[in-house]
Structure 1
């Protein structure tokens, strides 16, 4: 899989002007990052066809520190080519095992959302998706963090983002009163089944709830990238860089996908 010139044109104006090794274009760098993300290899393992690996690594590292892909991801949310009108979003999380390369090093500067759960050292990706091809927002937490509190933080980040009037599909991990009330305060309709021990259960749109599989399919696409399926990076800024990259690539490849 490689990003084509046509797909690249969608995000080309959003990327910085290359500096340093000008022989390597931004498109070459993106496809080199795609290779690393897909195969989970180290930067030194890049095939020679991409150019000097150190030059690619330095540009990718610079982009990560400057939040370049964060801005590209946000810009794509408003791109007329990408933007899709939907009547619902889905909220869920998935756990990622942390590779031994990603553990330890407590003196590293920067947040490290890594915690010990029953599955060992893990990181959770909390995500809001609009359909199976488009992510709206995400955040990281240590593996032992609860879904509902982190989900509420993510929902609060959507305030004033134009998602009022939509339904938010959630599983029973988010059926608490506080989470449902927050969704209502944000102008969204919670679609979540009550737990079986609820004394006063509520009705919910069962047909719409079936679309919760959309976010599961998006997680499946994300975990097709080995650098996301297993966390190799100690710092959140680097792991987040690969998540943003995978979401951007998924968006670019879904433009003409039915």
Structure 2
């Protein structure tokens, strides 16, 4: 798997302009990052054909901290959203196991959304997706965090849609506060009530079946070893890899 020159042209304008005597082009660096993301290898384990591993790591680190990869993801996804007619969006989360190499960083180095749940150390990826190939936004939380508060924070950050849209959620987000926030923002919540509800509500069961699309998106992202397991100590680098995986998905590499 590699990014071709034709695919690179779609995102080239979002990357920093290279000046001076540069050994590796941005395309070379992207393909090296793609190898690390896909195979989950350590930076030192990069095949020599990609060039100096430290140069590639440094550029990835700089792009992650400056938000370059986030901007590429947002622009690429926005162009896809323009091409499709969105009828509904899905809010869901998935847990990612934290590798021992991803723990132990001092808190002063930066945010680390890592927490201990029944399955050990985990990170949760919360995502709003338009379909099985189009993520709209995402965030991280520690593994023991409940889905509902993080989901509300993500919806608040997303803001109101330009027209009423169905918002598909699972029962973890069926609480009154979450549904009311969705209504206030202009969404139409589609979520099955808990069986313990005294006054259960009706919901669009046919529309709710589309919630599998965000699950399929998570499945494709976890095809990247760097997403399937968290090796990065700091959120900024892990977010960079998630953005990169979404960019690769947007370029139809996977």
**Could you list the per-position Cα deviations for residues 165-216 of structure 1 after superposition, in whole angstroms to 9, with x for gaps in the alignment?**
1111011111101111110111010000001111111111100100111000
Corresponding residue for 1:86? 86
Partners of 1:167 and 1:201 in 2: CA distance: 19
C-alpha distance 81-220 of structure 1, shift in aligned 2 (>3 A): closer
1:7 aligns with 2:4: no
Q: C-alpha displacement at 1:81, in angstroms? A: 8.5
Corresponding residue for 1:96? 96
Partners of 1:11 and 1:82 in 2: CA distance: 16
Partners of 1:195 and 1:43 in 2: CA distance: 46
Corresponding residue for 1:188? 187
**Could you list the per-position Cα deviations for residues 24-45 of structure 1 after superposition, in whole angstroms to 9, with x for gaps in the alignment?**
1111111100000000001111
Deviates more, 1:72-81 or 1:217-226: 72-81
Corresponding residue for 2:32? 32
Corresponding residue for 1:227? 226
Partners of 1:40 and 1:114 in 2: CA distance: 19
Mapped contact 2:80–2:134 kept (Cα < 8 A): no
SS in 2 for 1:157: helix
List, as ranges, runs of 4+ consecutive aligned residues in structure 1 with deviation greater than 3 Å. 80-83
**Could you list the per-position Cα deviations for residues 47-80 of structure 1 after superposition, in whole angstroms to 9, with x for gaps in the alignment?**
1221221211111111111110011112223326
Mapped contact 2:77–2:250 kept (Cα < 8 A): no
1:102-141 → structure 2 map (5 Å cutoff):
102-141=102-141
Partners of 2:32 and 2:197 in 1: CA distance: 51
C-alpha distance 143-216 of structure 1, shift in aligned 2 (>3 A): same
SS in 2 for 1:112: coil
Corresponding residue for 1:165? 164
C-alpha distance 166-107 of structure 1, shift in aligned 2 (>3 A): closer
Partners of 2:80 and 2:201 in 1: CA distance: 38
C-alpha distance 96-163 of structure 1, shift in aligned 2 (>3 A): farther
**Could you list the per-position Cα deviations for residues 5-36 of structure 1 after superposition, in whole angstroms to 9, with x for gaps in the alignment?**
11111100000012576131111111100000
What is the aligned-residue RMSD (CA, Å)? Answer: 1.7
When normalised by structure 1's length, the TM-score is 0.94
Corresponding residue for 1:43? 43
C-alpha distance 191-30 of structure 1, shift in aligned 2 (>3 A): same
SS in 1 for 2:158: coil
Mapped contact 1:21–1:55 kept (Cα < 8 A): no
SS in 2 for 1:78: helix
1:201 aligns with 2:200: yes
